[in-house]
């Protein structure tokens, strides 16, 4: 799949790309801090380094479109516009959270935003994306389902079954692979024998593209084409974004399997450092503009932590609610 027509991007939208990427970074840094302080429990998988993937791709969607994601989904939720206060409260396990504090880090959900969950089962969101595509088509609506998954999911049966079905039925699904080079602690070279993940799309007769996942504009342009194709009724597409997580698989990961030289090389491409420089160099934002954005993000995060910490914990009887859908 080749990008044939670049979308025009306004100065305001360019600045908003930076604001949302920075918000994700600051949110994740706060999560790390408050996890260490014991306010956040369970598993915690940080999205630090991959911000351009979430912001670039989700910016292509309309409000009525759907998103399903994996368990490293904080960034996707924030890029979609979920309230940082409610997200942090969910991680704190408080009643004001997006799922009343009962979903936690791996199960963020907000149907009002079309954000239909982070899924802890690797590849488990992909059949759900197909189901959403079927539902949209049966209702005669032009909704698109954007499905995020990691490189570790391509060896799961759900991956192949879902892409095959989406291709056969021309479902409005965009399969977005965030290839950060490792499935947990195993390098992709040890688990995938093909030349490139995106070329798997050829086997199922759908367009595939590989994009620089550290470049928010490149992600935006590539995903825009895929979304437009899906919305037009032409069927699904596959986007592979080459990216890197700067932290371990989870907070429990000492990251002893990666070489320091590799980490240093990727950190030199950090979108949080490069994109604001590009905005200044291109005359899209002044130093004052960037400072205003950064101060605004810091204020949002301070309020999010205050809100979460002040919110009540769910009472014991909440164990017996929201467990059956009639």
- Specify the DSSP class assigned to residue 72: S
End-to-end CA distance of the chain: 43
What gap in Å lies between CA 258 and CA 266, rounded to an integer? 12
Indicate the angle between helix axes 157-169 and 125-138, nearest 10 degrees.
Answer: 20
Q: What is the DSSP letter of 283?
A: T
Is residue 113 within 8 Å of 104, Cβ to Cβ?
Answer: no
Burial class, 226, CB count within 10 angstroms (exposed 0-12 / middle 13-18 / buried 19+) = buried
Measured between alpha carbons, how far is 159 from 222 in angstroms, rounded to an integer? 21
Q: What are phi and psi of 231, to 5 degrees?
A: -70, -30
* Ranges of the chain whose pLDDT falls below 70: 1-6, 325-326
Domain 11-308 has CATH 3.40.50.300: no
Q: Residue ranges of the alpha helices (H) in 109-190? A: 125-138, 157-169
pLDDT at residue 1 in the model: 43
> Which long-range contacts does 312-318 make (Cβ < 8 Å, 24+ apart)?
312/94, 312/95, 312/96, 313/93, 313/94, 313/95, 313/101, 314/93, 314/94, 314/95, 314/100, 314/101, 314/102, 318/95, 318/100, 318/102
**What is the torsion angle, in degrees rounded to the nearest 10, for the CA atoms of residue 21, residue 227, residue 159 and residue 182?**
-30
pLDDT tens digits, one per residue of 141-163: 999 999 999 999 999 999 999 99
Residue 282: how many other CB atoms lie within 10 Å: 10
List, edge to edge, every strand of the sheet that includes 66-69: 115-118, 66-69, 145-150, 173-179, 237-242, 208-212
Q: Tens digit of pLDDT for each residue in 68-124?
A: 999 999 999 999 999 999 999 999 999 999 999 999 999 999 999 999 999 999 999
The pTM for the full model equals 0.95
Nearest partner of 110 among 72, 76, 147, 60, judged by Cα: 76
Residues 6+ apart with CB under 8 A from 83: 98
Contact of 62 with 75, CB cutoff 8 Å? no
| Residues contacting 162, CB < 8 A, separation 6+ | 123, 126, 127, 129, 130, 147, 173, 175
Burial bucket for residue 277 (CB in 10 Å: 0-12, 13-18, 19+): exposed
CB neighbours of residue 113 within 10 Å: 17
Backbone phi, psi, residue 226, to 5°: -65, -40
Report the pLDDT value the prediction gives residue 3, as an integer from 0 to 100.
42
Take residue 318 and report the two structure tokens written for it: 């909440």
């Amino acid at each position: 799949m080749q990008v044939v027509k670049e979308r025009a991007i306004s100065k305001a939208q360019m600045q908003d790309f930076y604001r949302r990427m920075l918000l994700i970074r600051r949110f994740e840094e706060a999560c790390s801090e408050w996890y260490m302080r014991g306010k956040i429990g369970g598993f915690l998988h940080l999205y630090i380094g991959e911000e351009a993937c979430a912001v670039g791709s989700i910016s292509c969607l309309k409000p009525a479109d759907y998103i399903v994601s994996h368990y490293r989904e904080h960034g996707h939720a924030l890029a979609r516009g979920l309230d940082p206060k409610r997200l942090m409260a969910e991680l704190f396990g408080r009643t004001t959270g997006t799922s009343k504090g009962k979903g936690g880090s791996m199960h963020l959900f907000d149907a009002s935003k079309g954000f239909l969950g982070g899924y802890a089962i690797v590849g488990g969101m992909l059949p759900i994306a197909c189901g959403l595509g079927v539902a949209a088509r049966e209702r005669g609506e032009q909704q698109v389902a954007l499905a995020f998954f990691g490189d570790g999911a391509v060896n799961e049966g759900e991956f192949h079954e879902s892409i095959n079905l989406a291709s056969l039925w021309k479902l409005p699904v965009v399969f977005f692979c965030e290839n950060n080079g490792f499935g947990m602690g195993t390098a992709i070279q040890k688990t995938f024998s093909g030349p490139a993940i995106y070329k798997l799309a050829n086997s199922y007769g759908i367009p595939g593209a590989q994009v620089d996942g550290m470049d928010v504009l490149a992600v935006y342009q590539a995903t825009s084409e895929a979304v437009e194709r899906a919305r037009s009724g032409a069927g699904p597409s596959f986007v592979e974004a080459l990216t890197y997580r700067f932290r371990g698989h989870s907070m429990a990961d000492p990251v002893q399997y990666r070489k320091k030289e590799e980490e240093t090389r990727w950190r030199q491409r950090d979108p949080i450092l490069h994109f604001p420089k590009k905005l200044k160099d291109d005359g899209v934002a002044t130093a004052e503009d960037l400072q205003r954005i950064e101060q605004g993000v810091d204020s949002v995060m301070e309020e999010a932590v205050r809100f979460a910490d002040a919110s009540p914990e769910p009472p014991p009887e909440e164990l017996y609610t929201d467990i059956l859908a009639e």
